[in-house]
Structure 1
Amino acid sequence: MKAYQIGPQTGLDGLTPVTRDALVPGPGEVILKVLEICLNHRDLGVLEGTYGPRKPEDRIPVSEGVGEVMAIGDGVQGLAIGDRVVGPHFVTWLDGAFSPAAFGHDVGITHDGWLAEQVRVPAAALVKLPDSVSNEQAAPLASSALTAWHAVVEVGQVRAGDLVLALGTGGVSIFALQIAKMHGARVAITSSSDEKLALARSLGADIAINYRTTPDWAAEVTRQGGGADIVLETGGQSTLAQSINASAANGRIVIIGFLAGSAPEGLPNYGSIIGKNLVLKGIAEGSRAMLARLVKAVAANGMTPVIDRRFSFDEAPAAYAYLKSAGHVGKVLIKVA
């Protein structure tokens, strides 16, 4: 089979095409024919050596995709050859509360991932797709969409009329916008690009704020929306103080990423966490059970992901470079089969 491996982890140039033997399933495993995959920021970090410890140079990257069952190992039930499936990259986190043990089997990180013609996955982690959900709808669900679902629905407990604040217009934020609107919530979103904010408005954003021209975007969220009930904190330490300011009383701030870097100082508004009775919770993607609920919601509501650009399998290095350029809104997709 054709595949890519991550190489020396010194940059995008390390991504190397290779040919491997066809995969064979072990007990409880299935082999998937990879149909489509989507890239995430952690995929960049893997190639650049900035995502966790150094990995074997022959590791196949990418944690998110949609596949078709092509071989089934002993003991597998509930799946058949030809079924289309998705699965979380923490394949041992099936349901219930998160445990750090989930990091022990992280597809594309500790084990070979989706950037190949075949991928081997434990059958118990997989969610079968209904016919009404297309490959393009399914390919981005298991990482950024699952993170957004976990934040908005599972932690945020979104209700109709709530205000959800998403920082930026990356994959998680755009999915958060779509999921929040699916639940009848209002959405505020930030970006440094008026063009990206216009696209967010076309997807249903109620408040769109350019944080370069409006540096105190927290005050603007409060002025226009009365404060956010749920905040998806993708910026990290350097934006957390503003997220606290932007929150309404009893708000839930879900800490997801660190794209904006470190803070120059500690939280000057630390007391607001107590004064507003805020909940701050970090999350790591989501479980197989959460993904199953997300797939069900996508099927019921016909949610279509925002795909910024599509690449062929042979164009995978160009897809990584395009993601790194940060000019995208939504997802970068690679068609494999």
Structure 2
Amino acid sequence: MKAFQIGEQNGIEALSATTRPDPVAAPGQAIVAPRLVSLNNRDVQIIRGVYGAKKPAERIPVSEGVGEVVAVGEGVTSVKPGDRVISNHFVNWAGGDFGYHAFGHDIGVTHDGWLAEKLVIPAASLIRVPDSIADKDAAALTSAGLTAWNAVVEVGKVKAGDTVLCLGTGGVAIFALQIAKANGARVVITSSSDEKLELARTLGADITVNYRTHPEWAAEVMAQTGNVGADIVVETGGQGTLGQSIAAAAVLGRIVIIGVTAGQGMAIDNYGTIIGKNLTVRGIANGSREMLARLVRAVDANRIETVVNKTFAFDQSPEAYAYLAAAEHVGKIMIQF
């Protein structure tokens, strides 16, 4: 089968085409043929060698996609050939509270991922996709969509009338916007591009803030929310934006930390505000299979559609990585098989 591997992880150019024997399903496993896969920031970080320790050069990357079951191993009854399926990338996290066990099987990191004509995966982790959800709307649910769901619903406990602040217009932020709106919340979103903010408004954003025009964007968020702030902050930036997220949060707000892209400094001048506002600051790592099942039901019920910026052919996977790395997109970058 055709595949791509991450090579020496010294930059985008490290991604290289390869061929592998077709995988064979062992007991409890399924073989899935990807139809459409979705790239995430961590895919770029891995290929650049900055996502934890370097991985084996022959690792096949990409953590999320939608595909068709083509074979199952002995004892598998939960799925069958012909089923269209997805899986959370922390295969070992079926449900319940997060634990380090989740990191034991991470698709595209500890085990081969979706950027191949076939992948082997434990059948118990797979969720069948309803016919009403198109491939493009399913492909990004298991990483970007599930992370946003965990942040806004599972941890953020969103309710109608809440204000949700999303940083940037990447895949997680756009999903967070859509999930928040489906729950009756008001959404604030930031970007350095007025064009991207205009698109965010068409998706339902109530307040938009250009952080290039307003470098102290937290103050602008407070001003536009009547000095109340955000009940939930989907913190996709990282250490470099956390201080402003604290400033933009409402009393009893929940700041859910996802990103690691904005700066490395950890000096927070307003550290005491965490106590003063009685904030909850919590990091998350994707989500469980149980959470993914709830997300799929919500997407189906609310007809939530994935915002796709551009789709590349499988053979153009290096170009897709480079396009994502340029960070000029809104929504998701897809690779079509």
> Quick check: 244-253 or 211-220, which moved more?
211-220
2:231 corresponds to: 229
Does residue 130 (structure 1) correspond to residue 126 (structure 2)? The answer is no
**1: CA distance between counterparts of 2:50 and 2:193?**
27
**1: CA distance between counterparts of 2:221 and 2:183?**
20
* Mapping 1:59-70, distance limit 5 Å: 59-70=59-70
**1: CA distance between counterparts of 2:160 and 2:279?**
20
In the TM superposition, what whole-angstrom CA distance separates every residue of 1:71-98 from its partner, at most 9, and x where no partner exists? 0011212211101110011000000000
Which residue identity is paired with 2:136? E
Does residue 195 (structure 1) correspond to residue 188 (structure 2)? The answer is no
Deviation at 1:47, TM superposition (A): 1.0
**1: CA distance between counterparts of 2:210 and 2:335?**
30
**2: CA distance between counterparts of 1:87 and 1:199?**
29
Does residue 298 (structure 1) correspond to residue 299 (structure 2)? The answer is yes
Does residue 11 (structure 1) correspond to residue 33 (structure 2)? The answer is no
Could you list the runs of 5+ residues in structure 1 that have no partner in the other structure? none
* Residue in structure 2 matching 1:243, options 215, 238, 245: 245
Deviation at 1:56, TM superposition (A): 1.1
**1: CA distance between counterparts of 2:91 and 2:221?**
37
Which residue identity is paired with 1:250? L
**2: CA distance between counterparts of 1:158 and 1:252?**
10
**2: CA distance between counterparts of 1:320 and 1:203?**
25
Which residue identity is paired with 1:196? K
* Mapping 1:158-177, distance limit 5 Å: 158-177=158-177
Which residue identity is paired with 2:258? I
On the 8 A contact 2:78/2:124 being kept in 1, the answer is: no
**2: CA distance between counterparts of 1:206 and 1:37?**
30
Q: RMSD in angstroms over aligned alpha carbons?
A: 0.8
**2: CA distance between counterparts of 1:14 and 1:220?**
41
Deviation at 1:236, TM superposition (A): 1.1
Q: Secondary structure at the match of 1:150?
A: helix
* Mapping 1:1-337, distance limit 5 Å: 1-225=1-225, 226-263=228-265, 266-336=267-337
Deviation at 1:223, TM superposition (A): 1.3
Consecutive aligned runs of 4 or more in structure 1 exceeding 6 Å deviation: none
Deviation at 1:268, TM superposition (A): 1.3
On the 8 A contact 2:27/2:74 being kept in 1, the answer is: yes
**1: CA distance between counterparts of 2:68 and 2:179?**
26
Deviation at 1:65, TM superposition (A): 0.3
**1: CA distance between counterparts of 2:208 and 2:121?**
40
Deviation at 1:270, TM superposition (A): 1.4
Number of aligned positions between the proteins: 335
**2: CA distance between counterparts of 1:274 and 1:281?**
14
Q: Secondary structure at the match of 1:209?
A: strand
The normalised TM-score by structure 2 is 0.98
Q: Secondary structure at the match of 2:181?
A: helix
Which residue identity is paired with 1:41? N
Q: Secondary structure at the match of 2:45?
A: helix
Deviation at 1:292, TM superposition (A): 0.5
In the TM superposition, what whole-angstrom CA distance separates every residue of 1:291-320 from its partner, at most 9, and x where no partner exists? 010001111111101000000001111000
Could you list the runs of 5+ residues in structure 2 that have no partner in the other structure? none
Which residue identity is paired with 2:261? L
The normalised TM-score by structure 1 is 0.98
Q: Secondary structure at the match of 1:25?
A: coil
**1: CA distance between counterparts of 2:293 and 2:280?**
26
**2: CA distance between counterparts of 1:216 and 1:7?**
40
